[in-house]
Amino acid sequence: MTVNTWFAEKMGNHGIHSTYLEDHHPAHMPCLEIRLIDWSSAAQLARQLDMRFTALWAAEGGKHDEHLRYAYMVFAHPKHRHVMLRAALRENEPAVSSISEHFIAAMRMERVIQEMFAIEVSGIPDPRPWLKHEHWPADAHPLCGDFAADTVMPRCPGEYPFIKAEGSGVYEIPVGPVHAGIIEPGHFRFLAVGEHILNLEQRLGYTHKGIEKRLQGQQAEQAIHLASRASGDMTVAFGWAFARAVEAAAGVVIPARASALRAILCERERMANHIGDIGAICNDASFAFMHAQMQRLREDMARLHKQLFGHRLLMDLIKPGGVSVDLNAEQNLLLRQQTSALAIEVESLRSIYADHSGMQERVIGSGPVSLEEAISIGMTGYAGRASGIYVDERVEEAYPPYDRLNVRIPEGRDGDVATRVWVRFEEIAESARLIETLLGDLPDDDLCSAWQAPDAGVSGLACIESWRGEIVCWVRFGNQGRIDRCTLHDPSEVNWLGLELAVRHVPLPDFPLNNKSFNCSYSGNDL
Amino acid sequence: MLRILKKALFTGVKSEVLAEAGEQIETVGPELEAAIKKRFRGSLAIRAVDAGSCNGCELEIHATNNCYYDIERYGIHFTASPRFADMLLVTGPVTRNMETALIMTYEAMPKPSLVVAMGDCAANCGVFGKNNYAIAGAVADIIPVDVVIHGCPPEPTDIIRGILTAISRT
Ligand code: SF4
């Protein structure tokens, strides 16, 4: 594969010198080292070139430069693909300038490198801790090398400074972390006037499980179990992202049958979650019939997954080098029949949903996010598509097997709850079509290539389109095939901001409907 | 409206049709109902708390409510407030950031109350591990637990079974 020099050249034209790192893969998603002083101007250039921001993190140096600390950021261009930039930080008092004026979605990730690595982010508009809650010791920075993974931290006094209400008639409503339904924990602080939401402030981090720290030192075969539980409802996509990143680093090419099976699992995961969520959205608008029907279909899917693959939610079926499950002709037929039957049933339910005036009244026009707003935060997945951002890694990166499929992307415009639901209906139909195509022409080769971890210091990047949007995974290996640093980025990190924008001026009783229409992950955000 | 009725008619009563295939539920069901009738006069209110799960366990709790398992037909329902709850169903390893919220929820319940730790994470911290700065411990390390349901995640049948076991222990 030839090295992608597009962004390096663009930076060169703007006087930003960069060095290509040989031990990072794949070459078309290069890692370029720049000077710390150019950090913010590189981000500004990416913005000018209409690139989107996908992730930002920090890492200590690898095998050859252990004493250093680096900041990393990733941008993607629809045509010219991803580029990773990194800069070495000063050894004493490491600091980096904030890029949030160019990409606001970077700010929460900057808050994370601040608290996890003790890196100062200068010029960050909101320097409050994010995952690190007020009761952690001030000097605890868990991702630093000298912080032991099993440290028992004392509980310290402290309070989180929420945004305060000002003006007459404005009141605060604190909600969570334990929510009313059966959902993940997080805290929402509403500022409201009368019935209407003025501002929503999210306080997350409650499900922080130290995943990135715990991944360190594990072998890839073991680590994938952990990575694929970053968010249990996206287990296939997270497993795939992790596998693809380690495979890129190791130069392992997986068999065509394995990638087809991965895509079948991933599209089934997309269908199951969209079906379940549409039911739940209807339930929030008191349309119980649709909820019951959708949950029935979702259960049918889970049962067939158990029968064919041994797991209702499809966990642990992907491994470095390939997959651990196969389909014989009979199973293939079963899966194909159920998939097409589901698609037909969903379509018939869809027409009932569309004709239900009570339902439509609740969803049309509720919680709109305009295209400008969506671009400014870089919304991804179905939420982005509903507002007019049609990026999809299955089309842009077209990783196998999507390179031989023609994925059709639904093009939403209005960015409201109704459009987010519409996009999800469209995606169910499209996923069913893709699954049927893949099953009809399953390549006849192996399930797995031999897995061999690369040398110490080698890293790999992968981006996978989960049902929620783009997952970014970067892995660097250390000695004896152990993972030395791995970072995972859930699309929710960005889309949570979309929800904050959507619910301004929305009546409070419509919040659950909006929240469900985004259905961002807490666990994937908090890691 | 007509179409809704038609669809509902054609869908039929799924809980009975599929009970044959998933017979575990049927054996669980009547027993469960008898136990609840006796101990809880036909109604058991559960407060579910995610103490840091990956959300996989929550998907399976939701499934216990679908038409095949229909946990409500046994008089079991999920409630929003711990003050009305007879049972706490806890998922996930208890993260350091959820520890206080879990204890507060437990303390808000009328006593005596039942606690079911659901999933490998709730049982022993699962893949996330106990020796982890971000994890306060398994559920039993934080509050008293009556029954543990293993599985990653446990299947709906096992969840209902676990609830039964907890009730017959009181
Ligand atoms: S037991 Fe499994 S499914 Fe449940 S929270 Fe833990 S990892 Fe997720």
Chain B residues lying within 8 Å of A357, measured CB to CB: none
Say how far apart CA A46 and CA B10 lie, in whole Å: 55
Mutate to test the pocket of ligand 1, among B54, B125, B139, B148 (most ligand atoms within 8 A of CB): B54
The Cα of A66 is separated from the nearest Cα of chain B by a number of Å equal to: 23
**pLDDT tens-digit profile of B82-133?**
998 999 999 999 999 999 999 999 999 998 889 999 999 999 999 999 999 9
Residue B29 — pLDDT band, cuts 50, 70, 90? Answer: very low
Does A1 score more than 80 pLDDT? no
**pLDDT tens-digit profile of A455-467?**
999 999 999 999 9
Chain centroid to CA A21: 26
How many helices and strands in chain A, by DSSP H and E?
17, 16
CB B20 within 8 A of CB B68: no
Fold of A253-449: Cytochrome-c3 Hydrogenase; chain B (1.10.645)
| Span from the CA of B143 to the centroid of ligand 1 (angstroms) | 19
Domain ranges of chain A: 3-122, 167-209+492-527, 253-449
Per-residue model confidence (pLDDT) at position B10: 79
Domain ranges of chain B: 17-168
**pLDDT tens-digit profile of A293-335?**
999 999 999 999 999 999 999 999 999 999 999 999 999 999 9
Of A55, A134, A121, A127, nearest to A89 (Cα)? A121
Say how far apart CA A56 and CA A73 lie, in whole Å: 4
Report the residue of chain A nearest B65, measured CA to CA: A295
CB-nearest partner of A233 from B55, B131, B155: B55
Chain centroid to CA B160: 7
Per-residue model confidence (pLDDT) at position B40: 65
Say how far apart CA B97 and CA B142 lie, in whole Å: 13
Per-residue model confidence (pLDDT) at position B36: 56
CA torsion angle for A48, A50, A51, A54 (degrees, to 10)?
100
Burial status of residue A274 (CB atoms within 10 A of its CB: 0-12, 13-18, 19 or more): buried
Per-residue model confidence (pLDDT) at position B25: 29
Share of chain B above pLDDT 70, in %: 82
Work out the mean pLDDT of chain A and round it to a whole number.
Answer: 94
Sign of CA dihedral A33, A38, A42, A43: positive
Query: How many interchain CB pairs under 8 A, A with B?
Result: 157
**pLDDT tens-digit profile of A487-503?**
999 999 999 999 999 99
Query: Which is it for strands A187-193 and A196-203: parallel, antiparallel or unpaired?
Result: antiparallel
DSSP string, B72-88: GGGTEEE-S-GGG-SEE
Let me know the angle formed at the C-alpha of A520 by B83 and A97, rounded to the nearest 5 degrees.
115
Does B32 score more than 80 pLDDT? no
CATH superfamily of A3-122: NADH:ubiquinone oxidoreductase Nqo5 subunit (3.30.460.80)
CB contact under 8 A, B80 and A523: no
Tokens linked to A104: 């606001």
Average pLDDT estimate for A388-400:
95
Does A367 score more than 50 pLDDT? yes
CB contact under 8 A, B93 and A209: yes
**3-class SS at A75?**
strand
CB contact under 8 A, B65 and A226: no
Say how far apart CA A360 and CA A290 lie, in whole Å: 13
Cis peptide bond prior to A509, omega within 30° of 0: no
Contacts of A389 (CB under 8 A, 6+ apart): A371, A374, A375, A378, A379, A380
Output phi, psi for A457, to 5 deg: 95, -10
DSSP string, A130-157: SSS-TTS-TT--TTSTTS-TT--PPP--
Say how far apart CA A401 and CA A438 lie, in whole Å: 9
Average pLDDT estimate for A181-196:
91
**Of the candidate ranges A271-280, A493-502, B71-80, the one whose mean pLDDT is the lowest:** B71-80
**Of the candidate ranges A170-184, A384-398, A509-523, the one whose mean pLDDT is the lowest:** A170-184
Give the binding-site residues of ligand 1, using a 6 Å CB cut-off.
Answer: A 229, 232; B 53-54, 56-57, 91-92, 119-121, 126-127, 152-153
**pLDDT tens-digit profile of A59-87?**
998 777 778 899 999 999 989 999 999 99
| Span from the CA of A466 to the centroid of ligand 1 (angstroms) | 19
Q: How many CB atoms lie within 10 A of CB A164?
A: 9
Say how far apart CA A133 and CA A160 lie, in whole Å: 8
Chain B residues lying within 8 Å of A182, measured CB to CB: 48, 50, 58, 61-62, 78
**pLDDT tens-digit profile of A329-356?**
999 999 999 999 999 999 999 999 999 9
CB contact under 8 A, B7 and A232: no
Average pLDDT estimate for A264-290:
96
Q: How many CB atoms lie within 10 A of CB A180?
A: 13
Tokens linked to A118: 């003790």
Does B17 score more than 50 pLDDT? no
Residue A184 — pLDDT band, cuts 50, 70, 90? Answer: very high
More confident residue, A265 or A145: A265
CATH classification code of B17-168: 3.40.50.12280
- ipTM above threshold 0.90: yes
CB A260 within 8 A of CB A438: yes
Per-residue model confidence (pLDDT) at position A384: 96
Distances (CA, A) of A311 to A262, A270, A305: 15, 16, 6
CB-nearest partner of A182 from B58, B128, B132: B58
Closest C-alpha residue for ligand 1 atom 6? B121
CB-nearest partner of B133 from A210, A292, A355: A210
Mutate to test the pocket of ligand 1, among A214, A224, A229 (most ligand atoms within 8 A of CB): A229
**pLDDT tens-digit profile of A148-172?**
999 999 999 988 988 887 788 888 8
Per-residue model confidence (pLDDT) at position B74: 79
Give the right CATH number for A167-209+492-527 from 1.10.3470, 3.40.50, 3.30.420, 3.30.390: 3.30.390
Per-residue model confidence (pLDDT) at position A251: 96
Tokens linked to A39: 């950090």
Q: Which atom of ligand 1 is nearest to the CA of B127?
A: 7
